[in-house]
Amino acid sequence: MSFRIETEVVHGGQHPEKLTGALTPPIYQTSTFAFENVEQGAARFSGNEAGYMYTRLGNPNTDLLAKKVAGLEGFSGGISTASGMAAVANTILAAAKAGDSIVVEDTVYGGTHYLVEQDIPKLGIEVIRVDAVDLNALEKAVKPNTTLVLIETPANPTLKIIDIEGCAEIVHKKGALLAVDNTFSSPYLQRPRELGADIVFHSATKYISGHGDVLAGVLCGEKDFIRSASTLAAHYGWTMSPFNAWLLLRGLKTLAVRMERHCSNAMTVARWLERHPKVKTVFYPGLESFPQHDLAKKQMKDFGGIVSFEMKGGFDAGKALMDHVNLHILAVSLGDCDTLIQHPASMTHAGMGTEEMKEAHITPGLVRISVGIEHVEDLIGDLNQALEKIH
């Protein structure tokens, strides 16, 4: 990055379009690209000439987005994918083959959990789960055939923080790669590469977009890794659409200002909830009461927009809160301008048994808020009136 991140999100990688001077890049909504002649087609396919051929293999909008996010994360290369899950799959499949093992932190996003529990082992890749808060346990889990260690920090829904630098040291000593799901922080709050990560990926559906209007992923790494990951992306076809890339580039311009508001609103909401008599515990890395507050302070610029809390009244109180909020939107996902609220035990995790729920750190009264960018007093007013109705 040649400028500060607030400037890079606006200007990075973007230049007025040559033909018309358009400041905003045109949407290259095309599946294919015409060649001037057979020789040019041949040169492009053989890699002897740079240029586009077919959107599954590359497109100016998706390439610009990947380049821009990779730049913000401090990497030389990136790939835009159709969803965050495609970025997770792309990372794993590019880093491991049959006979290898991968180590996956035990509190990863539910979709990642099911992918590594149900699908990846079918490919002959062993999956080892570990609580990477315990770096000794991580060291023991990494085997000679381990090629990849995958962590997510802060993790959903308890905001557990993993020491990226500590993990990188162990993983590199053992000759494996460290991948970090940076969805919750965005490159504005946390840059895992500076702490030793080899690969960083995002569900760009969340803060990178910021507007809840696309499903998208971005994967960042260095040249060799990106080259093999790109081949896989072309073969599996999990390419992002040009229009989605265009929307994401638009969203990305306001990342810094959005993140600042998400963080300040979340801190105010967390402090207010912490004092509320109907709330038992608040999980927010910015609170001094949060057990890993110091580690969060060390590796994050600010503490993010997600606040989780445990209601004293347990399951019934958590569920009732969902019925009484008005401004908070009852929805999954996170990172939108709009504040979203959910009660995992009665919603996303309702189908799980008690043991499985415990493993996912879901308690009956746990509520998660993705704090948006509205006026914080309106958010607190809505929570206040809803909590007053719960007995």
Ligand X SMILES: Cc1ncc(COP(=O)(O)O)c(C=O)c1O
Contacts with ligand X, residue ranges (CB under 6 A): 83-85, 109, 111-112, 152, 156, 181, 183-184, 203, 205, 215, 217
Rounded to whole angstroms, the Cα distance separating 217 from 205 reads 7
Rounded to whole angstroms, the Cα distance separating 289 from 274 reads 9
Is 181 annotated in the active site?
Answer: yes
User: Closest separation between CB of residue 220 and ligand X, Å?
Assistant: 14
Is 323 annotated in the active site?
Answer: no
Rounded to whole angstroms, the Cα distance separating 190 from 197 reads 11
Backbone angles phi, psi at 136, to 5 degrees: -65, -40
Q: Please say which residue, 150 or 386, places its beta carbon nearer to ligand X.
A: 150
Q: Please say which residue, 111 or 196, places its beta carbon nearer to ligand X.
A: 111
CA torsion sign, 347 to 348 to 351 to 355?
negative
Indicate which residue of 28, 63, 67, 109 is catalytic.
Answer: 109
SS3 105: strand
User: Closest separation between CB of residue 179 and ligand X, Å?
Assistant: 11
Q: Please say which residue, 177 or 200, places its beta carbon nearer to ligand X.
A: 200
Closest to 182 in 3D by CA, of 355, 297, 274, 304: 304
Is 198 annotated in the active site?
Answer: no
Rounded to whole angstroms, the Cα distance separating 221 from 210 reads 23
Indicate which residue of 181, 198, 302, 382 is catalytic.
Answer: 181
User: Closest separation between CB of residue 347 and ligand X, Å?
Assistant: 13
Indicate which residue of 160, 191, 206, 368 is catalytic.
Answer: 206
Beta partners for residue 95, in sequence order: none
Is 129 annotated in the active site?
Answer: no
Q: Please say which residue, 217 or 313, places its beta carbon nearer to ligand X.
A: 217
User: Closest separation between CB of residue 215 and ligand X, Å?
Assistant: 5
User: Closest separation between CB of residue 17 and ligand X, Å?
Assistant: 29
Rounded to whole angstroms, the Cα distance separating 109 from 203 reads 10
Q: Please say which residue, 115 or 168, places its beta carbon nearer to ligand X.
A: 115
Rounded to 5°, the CA angle 291-294-296 comes to 90
The residue with its CB nearest to ligand X is 84
Rounded to whole angstroms, the Cα distance separating 90 from 94 reads 6
User: Catalytic residue positions?
Assistant: 56, 109, 181, 206
